[in-house]
Amino acid sequence: MNSLLVMAVTFVLYILAYNLYGKKLGSKVFQLATKNITPAEKFNDGVDYVPTNKFILAGHHFTSIAGTGPIVGPVLGVIWGWVPALLWVIFGSIFAGAVHDFGALVLSMRHEGKSIGDITGTVVSPRARTLFFIIIFFCLWIVIAIFALLMVNLFVQYPQCVFPIWFEIPIAMGLSYYLYQRKGNLTIGSIIAIVLMYLSIWIGLYIPVALSREIWLIIIMAYIFIASTLPVQRLLQPRDYINALELLVVMVLLIVGIIVRPMPIVAPAVVQAPAGAPAMMPFLFITIACGAISGFHSLVSSGTSSKQIASEPHSLAVGYGGMLMEGVLATLVIIAVCTGVSPETWQQTYASFASIPTLPTFAEGGARIVAALGIPEALSLNILAVFMVSFASTTIDTATRLQRYVISEFGEDIQVDWMKNKYIAALIAVVSAYLLAFRGSANVIWPLFGATNQLLAGLSLLTITVYLAENKRPTAYNAVPMIFMVIITTWGMVANLFQYISQGNWLLTAIDAIIIVLEIWMIVEAFNVLGKVRRGELTTKAM
């Protein structure tokens, strides 16, 4: 199969999905309207609630949900064959992931920008709210730890990417000052920012920075504490926007490289039982989370993006469109790691599931594609390395801020005032993640992250489904992917539980077991509410 043909067919499907399925959801299910006042307009505080330019917000949202998830997952997932991996990315993102992200964003907008966990208390029950908060805390705890470890590994393996990553901070803060204080032109600011960013990538080749893993982990944790407490438009928003521009450049380079030199896919179409890998069912759908559907996205949609939507119809491009763009990225990742080498080399790389070098595999595969455009190999590799670290940083920045919100909301729920302090909440988020990261490794934590993340997606879809049912809106669009995700993730978490017990990993065993119990309890709560809706015992709530 030719890589150019795969890319072209996939992109056409995404365009059709946005214009047909996405717009239908916006008009028929959620009834988006410009007359509805958004939380950003109603509660504009210049810190968290900030009406934002549609394109800046789309960039912030996309880079926040993407991270390195749509890289790591597909790189691992193709061990079962490129066909099932690609099919799950395409149809998962169209009919599950984008529906989930869009629904969580709209639901939060209709509830004053509150998180999906907080909304669950209103839609389902106060007890379900507490259960969901605990599940979300575990999910974000794992997200922060695992993406910190991924950043550490990339800094150690590619020391030439360190300078541009940290130089992006003053670029982002300068862009924020230019746009918000000086009321500058977005186009001019964007051009200057991206030129400086790529200039720093070239400079980084000549000033590599090497530190130990332990030191990098401490530095990253200190950084995310500061970043999570700053006003969102000061650093998080402009940095994510710059990363979106960076991603656009990388994606254009990859797309043009594939057009200029299309290569055959050397990976096998389907592999039933790859060495060292768990069963394709259910673990393909858990391993490839970001790029198909990811529960973390509901936290971004309802945690930060819903507080920045300036007009309700913008949520279609931000929520549904953002997830399709992540599907595009995951598609390019699959092409990058399945082409450009001999079948023997590919088989050697994928000889065992446990030993797949995930991020380097994509970096080297992407660099081969970019090099077709005449860009020097060293620079091509650094472009891809900086791109990966940048996206990991946006995820960890957003996850820490979201964890701060969750801890503060939980403190309000249980009436503990000191937990509502943003600095204390951020400190709890950072210290707990550091302890988990210090005790584990990315490869060990990833299976639990995947299962927990996908479970969160299923439960978020469950809350959205209950809400739509209460308001007599069509529920099938959300209910079908919800049922699939709950079944798949429960299956995977039970399998993980037995594996952790056999390995004697009691920390992960405890986390896994607690989450399974919380999940079952919350599902029972939700289905009790659905039963009352069917019997007409609940009053319809305004959309």
**Domain layout of the chain by residue ranges:** 3-408+432-534
Q: What amino acid is encoded at 388 in this protein?
A: M
Pick the more confident residue, 64 or 363.
Answer: 363
Pick the more confident residue, 349 or 304.
Answer: 349
Cis bond before residue 262 (omega within 30° of 0): no
39 pLDDT band, cuts 50/70/90, is: very high
Q: Which of 203, 244, 249 is nearest to 61 (CA)?
A: 244
Contact 93, 313 (CB under 8 A): no
Supply the pLDDT for residue 543. 52
Per-residue pLDDT averaged across 417-422, rounded?
A: 86
| Residue 503 token pair | 């390995």
199 pLDDT band, cuts 50/70/90, is: very high
Residue 542 has pLDDT above 60, yes or no: no
Give SS3 for 140: helix
Contact 307, 48 (CB under 8 A): yes
Per-residue pLDDT averaged across 202-206, rounded?
A: 96
Q: Which of 322, 328, 335, 399 is nearest to 150 (CA)?
A: 399
Supply the pLDDT for residue 225. 94
541 pLDDT band, cuts 50/70/90, is: low
Backbone φ and ψ of 542, nearest 5° = -70, 140
Q: How far apart are CA 366 and CA 383, in angstroms?
A: 10
Mean pLDDT (the chain, rounded): 89
Sequence-distant (≥ 6) Cβ neighbours of residue 520 within 8 angstroms: none
Sequence-distant (≥ 6) Cβ neighbours of residue 76 within 8 angstroms: 287, 288, 353, 356, 358
Supply the pLDDT for residue 441. 63
How distant, in Å, are the alpha carbons of 76, 96, 382, 450, 458 from that of 278?
A: 11, 23, 33, 13, 21
Pick the more confident residue, 532 or 67.
Answer: 532
Residue 363 has pLDDT above 90, yes or no: no
Q: How far apart are CA 423 and CA 411, in angstroms?
A: 13
Q: How far apart are CA 73 and CA 292, in angstroms?
A: 10
Residue corresponding to tokens 């795969």: 6
Supply the pLDDT for residue 108. 95
Cis bond before residue 268 (omega within 30° of 0): no
How distant, in Å, are the alpha carbons of 242, 313, 543 from that of 165?
A: 11, 34, 42
Residue 55 has pLDDT above 90, yes or no: no
Q: How far apart are CA 295 and CA 452, in angstroms?
A: 8
- In tens, the pLDDT along 303-330 reads 789 999 999 999 999 999 999 999 999 9
Residue 446 has pLDDT above 80, yes or no: no
Residue 376 has pLDDT above 60, yes or no: yes
List 309's β-bridge partners, or say none: 52
534 pLDDT band, cuts 50/70/90, is: confident
Q: What amino acid is encoded at 140 in this protein?
A: L
Per-residue pLDDT averaged across 335-347, rounded?
A: 91
Contact 79, 274 (CB under 8 A): yes
- In tens, the pLDDT along 219-243 reads 999 999 998 888 878 888 788 888 8
Q: How far apart are CA 111 and CA 49, in angstroms?
A: 13
Residue 538 has pLDDT above 70, yes or no: no
Supply the pLDDT for residue 483. 93
| Residue 533 token pair | 């809706």
Contact 48, 229 (CB under 8 A): no
- In tens, the pLDDT along 391-406 reads 888 888 888 988 998 8
444 pLDDT band, cuts 50/70/90, is: low
Question: Considering the chain, what percentage of its residues have pLDDT values greater than 70?
Answer: 97
- In tens, the pLDDT along 120-150 reads 888 888 888 888 888 888 888 888 998 898 8
440 pLDDT band, cuts 50/70/90, is: low
Supply the pLDDT for residue 442. 63
Query: Which CATH class for the 3-408+432-534 domain?
Result: mainly alpha
257 pLDDT band, cuts 50/70/90, is: very high
Contact 229, 47 (CB under 8 A): no
Question: Considering the chain, what percentage of its residues have pLDDT values greater than 90?
Answer: 53
Q: Half-sphere exposure of 520 toward its Cβ, with a 13 Å CA cutoff?
A: 9
207 pLDDT band, cuts 50/70/90, is: very high
Q: How far apart are CA 11 and CA 473, in angstroms?
A: 30
Per-residue pLDDT averaged across 163-186, rounded?
A: 92
- In tens, the pLDDT along 80-105 reads 999 999 999 999 999 999 999 999 99
